Structure 1
Amino acid sequence: MVSALANPFRNVKLHWRRLMNRRVVELDGIKVSTAAAGLPRSVRSALFKETYEVHERRLVRQIVRPGNRVLEIGAGIGVVASLAARLCGPGNLVSYEANPKLEPIIRGNFALNGVEPRLVMRAVNLDGRPVTFNRDDNIVSSSLAKRGSSAEAIEVAADAFDDIVRDHRPGIVIMDVEGIETDLLSQGNLDGVAHIVVEIHPQVTGQEVIDTMLARLEGLGFAVAERAHKTLHLVRETSGTPAQ
């Protein structure tokens, strides 16, 4: 019954909040601006309906504990980072975002919640060389992977994944990078990582590439603990608790 009523209730929230011109909503206790300049209508609607990054938020609530060291790649508008930062505590979260247009939105949401994770406005790849970033008007379609002719190609600086893992020593990796996850997780160093929360994009990468990535992770001792739509939670079975 609850499931059947979920969508109607979400639509009521959407229309009511639009009507009232709500400028801030709360998701899992995290305040999020719905009035930030450049925020696409689709993202604003998801915020009003409380469906924005719903699977990632739930998994982060389940996994992250005080003192855990967390690496997020693909901050979006800073919602998941704000939640993770509140849970793991000061100095434990590094969050990467390649789209320079999102920086004021992310920092605005951090300020709303009184959190100050380390935000790095750079891409993440395997070699740390500058990369072409395909910036779309719709932020959820922006990516290092070329996804459509409407995107603006810009060059952005990058850090190498292995260097980040070596320097930050995360026990938890959260990743939503619109298709580049298969490169990073198929080849990157995951020493010390106990949990991975990753959104996969088979429409971009193809399923075969994802299967190869998962086979490599299985070989490193990871197992899929949960699948929530396109979001996977992988746990390294022999890793014990996340790094602190």
Structure 2
Amino acid sequence: MKIIGSPPLLLHGLQIPISENEVSPIIWKSIQAGEYEAKEAHSVIRILRAGDRIVELGSGLGVITSIMARTPNVSIWSFDANPDLISLARRVADANDITNATFEHRLLSSGPSSEHVFFIRKDFWMSSLLENQGPYEHKITIKSSNLDKFIEKNHINVIVMDIEGAERDLLSLACLKGIDRVFLELHDHLYGLSGVRCIFASMDRLGFSYDPRGSVGPCVLFTRDDGEPRFYEN
């Protein structure tokens, strides 16, 4: 979908057919400045391999999805608990001729399916399961699906997530069988350094190691550790 009368908006090499009135002023400014998802965009392309099967938790505007989809022969299932974002993410993918990614309004979590309250905020990147994160515009109830069952059914081997603090609880209960890489954004402002420690402990329990080669600040890559030395990268 093209915005009539507006020149194409480019971000990280992608066309972004979104108008100013469809996002908050803060997010619009971030897009125009080229800062939206900049750290993630730089890092995520380095962690993927041809043929990966990826589940993305937190579609956002579909920018990271579309970047990942350019890796040869990957398949992507992208989910967001915010229903307002799914059509925007699909629009971005369509504008960039992405055909190997699907988008769905859905919440994947650990454990049995249950109902959750999701708080939608003006700056959508702050929408979350946390009421005390700040003022919200409205809230919805959404029923979760089990992440591990989805991984098994679809032979997923990579998880990419940006889910505003929910990563701590999700990883504490997940099994992640068949997963060899997990790329996520930490949110220490929501759960403190003790929450970061919990995440690292959960990943250690599951056999993952912090991978400095795919990590930049709060954007962290965890990789299954086979104990083998790796070639030095400058």
Structure 2 CA distance, aligned partners of 1:151 and 1:199? Answer: 24
1:230 aligns with 2:215: no
State the partner residue of 1:192.
178
User: What's the counterpart of residue 158 of structure 1?
Assistant: 144
Q: Compute the displacement of 1:86 (Å).
A: 1.9
1:17-56 alignment to 2 at 5 Å? 22-27=7-12, 29-35=13-19, 37-56=21-40
1:82-117 Cα shifts (integer Å, max 9, x gaps): 111221436x11111110111221111011011131
Structure 1 counterpart of 2:83, from 84, 96, 100? 100
The yes-or-no answer on 1:143 pairing with 2:97 is: no
Report if aligned partners of 1:59, 1:197 keep a CA contact under 8 Å in 2. Answer: no
Given the superposition, is the C-alpha separation of residues 164 and 42 from structure 1 closer, same or farther in structure 2, using an over 3 Å criterion?
A: same
Within-5 A mapping of 1:51-200: 51-89=35-73, 92-116=75-99, 117-126=101-110, 127-146=112-131, 147-200=133-186
> Which residue does 2:3 correspond to in 1?
none
Is the contact made by 1:125 and 1:184 (CA closer than 8 Å) also made in structure 2? yes
Q: TM-score, normalised by structure 1?
A: 0.82
Structure 1 or 2: more helix by fraction = 1
For 1:32, give the aligned amino acid: I
Q: Hey, which bits of structure 1, 4+ residues long, moved more than 3 A?
A: none
Assess if the C-alpha contact under 8 Å between 1:23 and 1:35 holds in 2.
no
Q: Which moved more, 1:31-40 or 1:104-113?
A: 31-40
Conserved in 1, the CA contact under 8 Å of 2:43 and 2:216?
A: no
Task: State how far apart, in whole Å, the 1-side matches of 2:127 and 2:224 are.
Answer: 30
Q: What's 1:217 paired with?
A: 203
Does the aligned pair in 2 maintain the 1:23–1:34 contact within 8 Å?
no
Assess if the C-alpha contact under 8 Å between 1:36 and 1:105 holds in 2: no
Give the gaps of 5 or more residues in structure 2: 1-5, 229-234
How far residue 219 of structure 1 moved from its aligned partner, in angstroms, is 2.6
Change (3 A) 1:104 1:96: same
Distance (Å, rounded) in 2 between the aligned partners of 1:174 and 1:38: 25
CA shift for structure 1 position 36: 6.0
Amino acid paired to 1:140: W
> Retained in 1: the 8 A contact 2:59–2:86?
no
